[in-house]
Structure 1
Amino acid sequence: MSHVAAQEAGQLCVLAALLAPCAGPAAPEVARQLILRFGSLRTLYSASAEALRDALAGQGGANLAVVAAIVAARDLAEAAAREAMLGVPLDTGSEAFRRYLVARLGSRREECVLVVFCNVQGIYIAEDFYTGVRRTECLIPLRPTVRRAFDLDAHRVVLAHNHPSGAARPSSDDIAATLQLRVVVEPLEIRLDDHCVVAGNHVASMKALGLL
């Protein structure tokens, strides 16, 4: 969305109001810079703290406060979305879970991996989020995933990662890495339930596609 379209949609006003407590009178200009840099509230919402700091270079002391406010707002929204998954077996085909994945991964500009840990009944325990070093690659973290599963006494794992290219289709590398993880974790009594690929508003499930 262009700067003009964003202004017409009221995005600048919404963002400026959110930032006013920490940016003060400079809030409208800070909001304008962020929209110009990221193009939309959705992309801004998904931006890393580092990317936000880079976008606000030159804003002085307001920089850290603005970044903290945006990250805190995102954390609050994500925590609220997770509530829909708590206390019931995780269903990777459910609309609630797919909406959560889209919110977490759909607008990221670099490949990221989300690892969800569940107990033996499939109840959500915790999750880990990994940001790719390269824009188009984020390898599945094998050792940290196994270590974390043991620490949490998790018996089931769900993976998800995004494709910034916009195609919600598992690549051959995605499939190979997923099968490698399954070979590693299954002898340890940890079941890999699914691996979802997210692109924009679309989610593809390897389990549903018969790839897992």
Structure 2
Amino acid sequence: MDRKDIGYQGHRGRLRDRLLTGGADALLDHEVIEYLLALAIPRKDTKPLARALLAEFGDIETLLTADPGMIARVKGAGPTVVSALKIAQVAALRLLKTKIKKAPILSGWQALIDYLHADMAFRLTERCRLLHLDNHNRLIRDEILSEGSVDQAPVYVREVIRRAIELCSVGLILVHNHPSGDASPSEADIQLTRSIVAAARPLKIYLHDHVIISSSGACSLRGLGLL
């Protein structure tokens, strides 16, 4: 091992010690990414790449939720680096999802929004998902309804109702993202929401909300008085 190797290995050891003794706030953002990448490529100084990735994407959230192809465009970010970043995202999503499973969703609304934002806010194409709830407002199933283009993901009311019947859902929360960054509902979003409400009501299935996620935040159609 030459002096250069000894230098970054010693630095890495100091990062590890700070992490283990100081907890979540002990490392700066670029140090978090640097250490994560070091686990994937241990025989390389990962500080320059960590800084380059954060310079490109701006912050950790945007980096971890970025499209794999966009990450790979950064020089030095090969498949191993991309995979390391995406597995960190998966772990974070699993942690957030565990929180929303442990209590009625409507009493832990912010935890739900945090989970949805982490999963959908920075997607390049629209994704629509449906959360199925039981009669205690606990999550039964979180399912992706459709994947679409940059401005559309088709949703069919009959499929929403059919699946709700199959799962014996009592409540539903519809969610989709706007890649444009504007979470404001379109006229089509409003009409879809009202169509689902009308179809579900005779079956005593309740649409609690239609939530739109974007990089700028989240929008609730119920909160806007549109549901």
Question: Do they superpose with TM above 0.5?
Answer: yes
Q: Which runs of 5+ in 1 are unaligned?
A: 1-8
**Partner of residue 33, structure 2:** 15
Give the one of 51, 59, 67 matched to 1:40. Answer: 59
Say which structure, 1 or 2, has more relative contact order (CA 8 Å, 6+ apart): 1
Q: Is the 8 A contact 1:182 1:191 kept in 2?
A: yes
1:208 maps to 2:226: no
Q: Is 1:169 matched up with 2:177?
A: no
* Distance (whole Å) between structure 1 residues aligned to residue 160 and residue 184 of structure 2: 23
Q: Tell me, which stretches of 5 or more residues in structure 2 are unaligned?
A: 1-26
Give the Cα separation in 1 of the matches to 2:75 and 2:199. Answer: 44
The residue that corresponds to 1:104 in the other structure is 119
Q: Indicate how the Cα distance of structure 1 residues 175 and 16 shifts in structure 2: closer, same or farther if over 3 A, else same.
A: same
Using structure 1 for the length normalisation, give the TM-score: 0.75
Instruction: Tell me the distance in 2 between the aligned counterparts of 1:18 and 1:97.
Output: 26
Size of the aligned set, in residue pairs, is: 200
Q: Distance in 2 between matches of 1:182 and 1:33?
A: 47
Structure 1 residues 142 and 17 mapped into 2: Cα distance closer, same or farther (>3 Å)?
A: farther
The correspondence of residues 142-157 of structure 1 with structure 2, limited to 5 A, is 142=157, 145-157=160-172
Which deviates the most, 143-152 or 164-173?
A: 143-152
RMSD over equivalenced CA pairs, Å: 3.1
Structure with larger Rg = 2
Distance in 2 separating the partners of 1:27 and 1:118: 44
Q: Using the aligned pairs only, state the percent identity.
A: 28
Q: TM-score, normalised by structure 2?
A: 0.71
Q: Write the mapping of 1:1-212 to structure 2, written as runs, cut at 5 A.
A: 10-24=28-42, 25=44, 27-52=46-71, 54-55=72-73, 62-63=78-79, 65-91=80-106, 94-129=109-144, 132-140=147-155, 142=157, 145-200=160-215, 202-212=217-227
The CA distance in 1 between the partners of 2:70 and 2:178, in whole Å, is 18
The one-letter code matched in structure 1 to 2:37 is L
